[in-house]
């Protein structure tokens, strides 16, 4: 076994690998960009080396810098994590040339499975079923359009060189094909350095089912259960579970056998995943991920294996001690907690994690690479944590995971926490086989705004403000106190809160140990016990309220009822509103301009995409808010932009006067 291990990655996966490596007694070595100098994985390592600027292309994707860092630190092995260089055969070859063990498959297997088109041709020879489509090398747009018509709409355009939903477009008809092809090729080129795509029939009720495989250098190849990863947004997984539910024993046996055949066809070694798309009882090969998957913890939970440990042991030449897969025990479900705003088109969110409280308890696991106080930047993926629950049955696992999400607190960035909770609570997930169209089909529930803040939440927010004022440090003497003390009588004041668009005014009378708070014409006797969480008493009712103050607002969570962000209005601050009118189109997030699709003088219509911003591995398509004419374009492809920076100036069209 190796004595030292470098992880050529960052964030959650680097932390995850280090935990196993440390348990195995290995010296842990991290690499980091300038943006990650204070990151959790750096703090956890025994040694860390800076490898370049924040942009991944100048740091985590620079093979020569990582190899040099390994030489300097004496790393005997490198684990690539997932993403970045994990499926890059040139990186595996560079490790071998430097005498460093690569924890993953050999470069030949990567090349065989790295291109979707070539992989599908190989799988066809191995007898693995394929979705009807075009997987050729010719990329003429006219040819691809003709192939799409031959296959029959709807079709799916997919980047041949990568995954994760990037370079992927669903096309409903021939009229939309050319624009969708251009977008997919542009995104594929930016993400993987290869614009080649393939075109396949788009199944209308598909499920995404995959098989974890583990193979050693001694001839053993095993299928370690199935996983269902059908719940996706922007073609990227956010809920995964093992084993895949609602499939027959015959289908499970068949799909596991196909996965083993696929791995053996390329002489695969180490951990990998064979992904299938399924509809009814039919399944078709989709792709192979020649690396560890984000969702590997659900397989670990039901098999009892540490997949990272076996990756390391296989890379060191050890044989698997079992020739059949371990029996599956119970069920596990994982959600990806991401810094994004689901109600704004799943737009990524950046900022400082002013509060970050993860759940724990029996059967609950959290994998994360951030801590409270860390910043979520636009440079990397939006996932900030994975929350996993394991139970005796699928129902048990879902119930545990719902309780874990209810105990999760994240402030400082927008997250998909509410959407994840809504998915787990939906009968269409709990009681039936979900498809990849689940979110689109249930958008009204998954993306529903929170209910109006109840009286309890409003009073809790007011009490949080009053307690913070009372406990604030000041000068000596009664004149510096903030508890409403008066020489004669009771102090009175009003406090205006805003819950969503609703302004609420509370009249407050201070007492020696409590307050009288009048809201909506009713007066309540209110007191509080310090937390967290705070315990509030309203008249004869006592309840728990988890409150936190930040930037002039109060986050309030009432367990089992919901969470709200309630603003504290300042009479000297003007009412909030849009910072820009319809004529000013600004970037909603820091990022890089991937494409500019207009020039000054263009007549554009409402909804027409004018600029594409790339941030956090996502393309944001910035559209015209109204019909009009482009007066000015302030950016070019490749520019770095900050949040709020103007991209395009638009002259709105004026309605014609009635004749």
Is 416 found in the same domain as 365?
A: yes
Which residue, of 446, 469, 484, is where some domain finishes?
A: 446
Report helix angle 107-114 to 89-97, nearest 10.
170
Separation in Å, CA 142 to CA 66, 73, 170, 172, 268: 42, 52, 18, 17, 36
Round to whole Å and give the CA distance between 402 and 422: 9
**Region 195-202 average pLDDT:** 91
- Could you tell me which residue, 292 or 163, shows the higher pLDDT? 292
Same domain for 550 and 610?
no
The CATH number that applies at residue 161 is: 3.30.1490.20
Res 32: pLDDT: 98
Q: Report the number of distinct structural domains present in the chain.
A: 5
For residue 528, pLDDT beyond 50: yes
Query: What pLDDT does residue 488 have?
Result: 61
φ/ψ (deg, to 5) at 596:
-115, 120
Query: To the nearest whole percent, how much of the chain has pLDDT over 70?
Result: 94
Strands 492-499 and 562-568: antiparallel
CATH number of the domain within which 228 lies: 3.30.470.20
Q: Is the pLDDT at 485 greater than 70, yes or no? A: no
Q: Catalogue the active-site residues.
A: 291
With respect to residue 610, please indicate whether it lies within any of the assigned structural domains: yes
Question: 93 and 190 share a domain?
Answer: no
Pair (379, 393) in one structural domain: yes
- Going by DSSP bridges, is the β-strand pair 27-33/4-7 parallel, antiparallel, or unpaired? parallel
**pLDDT classification of 501: cutoffs 50, 70, 90:** confident
Residue 292 lies in a domain: yes
For residues 15 and 86, state if they share a domain: yes
Asked, for residue 576, whether it belongs to a domain, the answer is no
For residue 579, being part of any structural domain is answered with no
Q: Report yes or no on 115 lying in a domain.
A: no
pLDDT of residue 658: 46
390 contacts: CB under 8 Å, gap ≥ 6? 301, 302, 330, 331, 332, 363, 365, 397, 400
HEC profile of 368-391: ECCCCCCEECCCCCCEEEEEEEEE
Q: Looking at residue 570, what is its pLDDT?
A: 62
- Mean pLDDT: which of 257-261, 476-480, 561-565 is highest? 257-261
Distance from C-alpha of 215 to C-alpha of 356, rounded to nearest angstrom: 38
657 is a domain residue = no
Asked if residue 407 and residue 305 are part of one domain, the reply reads yes
Predicted confidence at residue 575, as pLDDT, reads 43
Decide if 114 is inside a domain: no
289 closest CA partner among 110, 508, 498 = 110
Query: What's the pLDDT tens digit per position in 49-98?
Result: 999 999 999 999 999 999 999 999 999 999 999 999 999 999 999 999 99
**CATH code of the domain in which 48 resides:** 3.40.50.20
What share of the chain in percent tops pLDDT 90?
A: 71
Residue-wise pLDDT for 418-470, tens only, equals 999 999 999 999 999 899 999 999 999 999 988 899 999 999 999 999 888 87
Residues 6+ apart with CB under 8 A from 519: 455, 458, 459, 504, 506, 507
The pLDDT of 588-607, averaged and rounded, is 89
Q: Where are the alpha helices (DSSP H) in 316-454?
A: 394-406, 417-425, 427-430, 438-441, 443-446
Of the residues 166, 185, 201, the one at which a domain ends:
201
Q: What CA–CA distance (Å, rounded) separates 26 from 103? A: 14
Mean local confidence (pLDDT), 372-376:
94
Which pLDDT score is estimated for 589?
82
CATH number at residue 605: 2.40.50.100
Q: In angstroms, rounded to a whole number, what is the distance separating the alpha carbons of residues 526 and 495?
A: 15
Of 568, 596, 612, the last residue of a domain is: 568
> Residue 271 and residue 105: Cα distance in Å, rounded?
8
Residue 519: its pLDDT value, please?
Answer: 94
332 shares a domain with 318: yes
Worst-scoring range by mean pLDDT, 211-215, 352-356, 474-478?
A: 474-478
Q: Within this chain, do residues 343 and 417 fall inside the same structural domain, yes or no?
A: yes
pLDDT greater at residue 487 or residue 524: 524
| Buried b or exposed e, range 278-311, using 16+ CB within 10 angstroms | beeeebbbbbbbbbbbbbbbbbbbbbebbbbebb
pLDDT at 475: 47
3-state SS class at 435: coil
CATH number at residue 554: 3.30.700.30
Inside any domain, residue 17? yes
Residues 348 and 435 both lie in one domain: yes
154 within 8 A of 309, measured Cβ to Cβ: no
Does 61 share its domain with 17? yes
Summarised one tens digit per residue, pLDDT across range 91-136 is 999 999 999 999 999 999 999 987 777 888 889 889 999 888 898 8
Q: How far apart are CA 158 and CA 144, in angstroms?
A: 12
Token pair in block for residue 182: 């251009």
378 lies in the same domain as 307: yes
Q: Write out the residue range of the structural domain in which residue 465 sits.
A: 455-568
Per-chain mean pLDDT for the chain: 90
Give yes or no: residues 313 and 383 share one domain.
yes
333: tokens are 């479900």
How confident is the model at residue 615, as a pLDDT? 82
pLDDT reported for residue 407: 93
Predicted pLDDT at 315: 97
- For residue 493, count other CB atoms closer than 10 A to its CB: 11
Q: Which residues pair with 215 in a beta bridge?
A: 221, 270
Helices 11-23 and 307-315 cross at an angle (nearest 10°) of 70
């Amino acid at each position: 076994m190796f004595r030292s291990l470098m992880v050529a990655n960052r964030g959650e996966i680097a932390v995850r690998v280090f935990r196993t490596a440390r348990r195995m007694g290995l010296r842990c070595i991290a690499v980091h960009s300038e943006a990650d100098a204070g990151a959790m994985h750096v703090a956890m390592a025994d040694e860390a080396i800076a490898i370049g600027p924040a942009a991944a292309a100048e740091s985590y994707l620079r093979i020569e810098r990582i190899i040099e860092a390994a030489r300097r630190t004496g790393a005997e092995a490198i684990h690539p994590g997932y993403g970045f260089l994990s499926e890059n055969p040139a990186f595996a070859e560079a490790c071998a040339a430097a005498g460093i063990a690569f924890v993953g498959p050999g470069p030949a297997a990567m090349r065989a499975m790295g291109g979707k088109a070539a992989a599908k041709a190989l799988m066809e020879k191995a007898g693995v079923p394929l979705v009807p489509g075009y997987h050729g090398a010719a990329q003429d747009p006219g040819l691809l359009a003709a192939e799409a018509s031959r296959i029959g709409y709807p079709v799916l355009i997919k980047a041949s060189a990568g995954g994760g939903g990037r370079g992927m477009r669903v096309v409903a008809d021939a009229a939309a094909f050319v624009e969708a092809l251009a977008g997919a090729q542009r995104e594929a080129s930016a993400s993987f350095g290869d614009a080649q795509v393939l075109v396949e029939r788009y199944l209308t009720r598909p499920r995404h089912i995959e098989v974890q495989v583990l193979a050693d250098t001694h001839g053993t190849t095993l299928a370690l259960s199935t996983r269902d990863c059908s719940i996706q947004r922007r073609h990227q997984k956010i809920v995964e579970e093992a084993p895949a539910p609602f499939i027959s024993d015959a289908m499970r046996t068949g799909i596991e056998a196909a996965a083993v055949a696929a791995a053996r066809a390329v002489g695969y070694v180490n951990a990998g995943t064979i992904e299938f798309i399924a509809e009814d009882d039919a399944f078709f090969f989709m792709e192979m991920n020649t690396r560890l998957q984000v969702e590997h913890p659900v397989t670990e939970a039901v098999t009892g294996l540490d997949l990272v440990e076996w990756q390391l042991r296989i890379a060191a030449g050890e044989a698997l001690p079992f020739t059949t897969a371990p029996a599956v025990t119970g069920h596990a479900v994982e959600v990806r907690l991401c810094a994004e705003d689901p109600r704004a088109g799943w737009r990524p969110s950046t900022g400082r994690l002013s509060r970050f409280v993860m759940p724990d308890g029996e059967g609950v696991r959290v994998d994360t690479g951030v801590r409270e106080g860390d910043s979520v930047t636009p440079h990397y993926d939006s996932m900030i944590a994975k929350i996993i629950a394991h139970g005796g049955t699928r129902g048990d696992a879902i119930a545990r995971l719902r309780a874990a999400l209810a105990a999760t607190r994240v402030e400082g960035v927008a997250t998909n926490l509410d959407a994840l909770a809504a998915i787990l609570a939906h009968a269409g997930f709990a009681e039936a086989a979900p498809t990849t169209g689940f979110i689109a089909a249930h958008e009204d529930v998954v993306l529903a705004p929170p209910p109006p803040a109840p009286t309890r939440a409003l009073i809790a927010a007011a009490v949080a403000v009053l307690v913070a004022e009372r406990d604030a440090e000041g000068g000596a003497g009664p004149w510096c106190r903030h508890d409403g003390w008066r020489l004669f009588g009771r102090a009175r004041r009003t406090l205006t809160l805003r819950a969503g668009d609703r302004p609420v005014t509370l009249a407050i009378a201070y007492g020696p140990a409590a307050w009288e708070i009048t809201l909506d014409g009713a007066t309540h006797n209110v007191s509080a016990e310090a937390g967290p969480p705070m315990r509030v008493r309203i008249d004869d009712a006592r309840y728990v309220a988890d409150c936190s103050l930040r930037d002039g607002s109060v986050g309030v969570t009432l367990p089992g009822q919901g969470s709200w962000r309630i603003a504290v209005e300042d009479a000297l601050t003007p009412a909030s509103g849009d910072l820009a009118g319809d004529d000013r189109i600004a970037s909603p997030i820091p990022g890089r301009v991937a494409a500019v699709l207009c020039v000054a003088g263009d007549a554009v219509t409402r909804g027409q995409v004018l600029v594409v911003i790339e941030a956090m591995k996502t393309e944001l398509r910035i559209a015209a808010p109204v019909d009009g004419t482009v007066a000015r374009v302030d950016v070019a492809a490749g520019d770095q932009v900050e949040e709020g920076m103007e991209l395009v100036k638009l002259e709105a069209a004026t309605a014609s006067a009635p004749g």
